[in-house]
Structures are given as structure tokens and as C-alpha cells.
């Protein structure tokens, strides 16, 4: 019984391979593999016939370029210059407020840090806790300085 199934399966596979047709390899950049041309056309193009294992061709996905990436904008998506100035003004005001808050917080952190020697608290009888707080303050100051610098860069990018 097993043998009969194997013979049937082998016969089907041989028929499928034979039914694939002739595949030609044509010169060029990139090299073209096709079964869509006639023997005469393959000869004139200088293509050679491929024999042996069938070739599987998998098409890659077609990439769509978004309208914003291509530089084209639909006419209805344009913003009125007055509205854009209002948006820029709001953005500048929001960034300025945030910058002022961050600068105030940075000044408070620096005052508490006291040039690396902050006052000890009552809950810091253990010296390691004090050292940990000093390190945390130093890291907080570094982060806040980076935030302030980033906000200043953002403000500089906005139109006046």
C-alpha cells in the first residue's frame, strides 16, 4: 500500500515539474529569469534556457511613498499663514513657560546640592544614605541641564 502511494506521488511530482515549462535566463542588470517569451524572442535577446530544478520567483512588496515624504501636499492641507503664525506663537509661549519652570527647578536643585556638600537630613544618620542622595541630586541636575538645553534649541528653531 505504501509503495502505491509513493508511485502516485512520484508521478504527480514528475508531471508538475514537466508542466512548468521552459525558463530563460536573459542577460542584463539585473539578470532576468522569465518563462513569458518565445524561443525565437529568447534567441534574439541572447537568453539561455535553464534546465534542472525549477526556479521560484518571489515578488517583493510594493512600497508606497507617503505624500508627506514625496514632498507633495494636497492643496486642501495647506495652512493659512495667519493660522501658522498663531500656532508658532502658541508653541513659543508653551516652550518658554516650560523653560522657565525647568530653570527654576534647576536653580532649586543647585541650591540644595550646595556645590556637592548638601546639608545632612535627620534621616541620614547612615552616611551611605547621604552619599546616595548627593549622587541622585547630581544626576538630577545633569538631567535638568540637558532638558533646559533641549528647550533652548527648540525655541531657537521656531520662527520669530
121, 127, 137, 144 from 130: Cα distances, Å:
8, 5, 11, 21
Residue 73 lies in a domain: no
Dump pLDDT digits (tens) for 50-87.
877 566 767 778 777 665 555 566 666 788 889 999 99
Give the chain's domain count.
2
Residue 13 lies in a domain: no
- Same-domain check for residues 48 and 88: no
Residue 102 lies in a domain: yes
pLDDT at 132 over 60: yes
What is the longest distance spanned by two Cα atoms in the chain?
96
Least confident of 13-27, 116-130, 132-146: 13-27
Q: Which residues of the chain form beta strands (DSSP E)?
A: 23-26, 32-34, 48-50
Dump pLDDT digits (tens) for 109-120.
999 999 989 998
- Same-domain check for residues 85 and 153: yes
C-alpha cell, 107: 536653580
- Same-domain check for residues 88 and 133: yes
Residue 44 lies in a domain: yes
Q: Which of 36-40, 70-74, 114-118, 141-145 reaches the highest mean pLDDT?
A: 141-145
Q: What is the DSSP letter of 100?
A: H
- Same-domain check for residues 33 and 88: no
- Same-domain check for residues 99 and 144: yes
Give the separation between CA 37 and CA 60, rounded to whole angstroms: 22
pTM equals 0.50
- Same-domain check for residues 88 and 46: no
Element (H, E) at 137: helix 127-157
Structural domain that includes position 111: 80-157
In whole angstroms, how large is the CA radius of gyration of the chain? Answer: 36
Residue 34 lies in a domain: yes
Residue 65 lies in a domain: no
- Who wins on pLDDT, 27 or 6? 27
User: Cell 508653541 appears where?
Assistant: 91
Residue 54 pLDDT: 65
Give the separation between CA 101 and CA 76, rounded to whole angstroms: 38
Residue 4 pLDDT: 47
Amino acid at each position: 500500500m505504501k509503495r502505491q502511494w509513493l508511485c502516485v506521488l512520484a508521478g504527480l511530482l514528475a508531471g508538475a515539474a514537466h508542466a512548468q515549462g521552459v525558463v530563460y535566463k536573459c542577460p542584463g542588470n539585473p539578470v532576468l529569469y522569465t518563462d513569458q517569451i518565445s524561443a525565437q524572442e529568447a534567441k534574439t535577446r541572447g537568453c539561455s534556457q535553464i534546465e534542472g530544478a525549477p526556479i521560484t520567483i518571489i515578488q517583493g512588496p510594493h512600497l508606497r511613498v507617503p505624500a508627506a515624504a514625496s514632498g507633495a501636499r494636497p492643496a486642501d492641507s495647506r495652512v493659512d499663514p495667519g493660522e501658522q503664525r498663531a500656532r508658532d506663537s502658541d508653541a513659543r509661549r508653551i516652550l518658554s513657560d516650560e523653560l522657565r519652570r525647568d530653570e527654576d527647578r534647576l536653580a532649586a536643585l543647585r541650591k540644595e546640592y550646595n556645590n556637592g556638600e548638601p546639608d545632612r537630613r535627620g534621616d541620614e544618620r547612615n552616611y551611605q544614605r547621604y552619599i546616595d542622595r548627593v549622587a541622585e541630586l547630581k544626576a538630577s541636575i545633569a538631567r535638568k541641564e540637558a532638558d533646559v538645553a533641549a528647550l533652548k534649541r527648540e525655541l531657537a528653531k521656531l520662527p520669530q
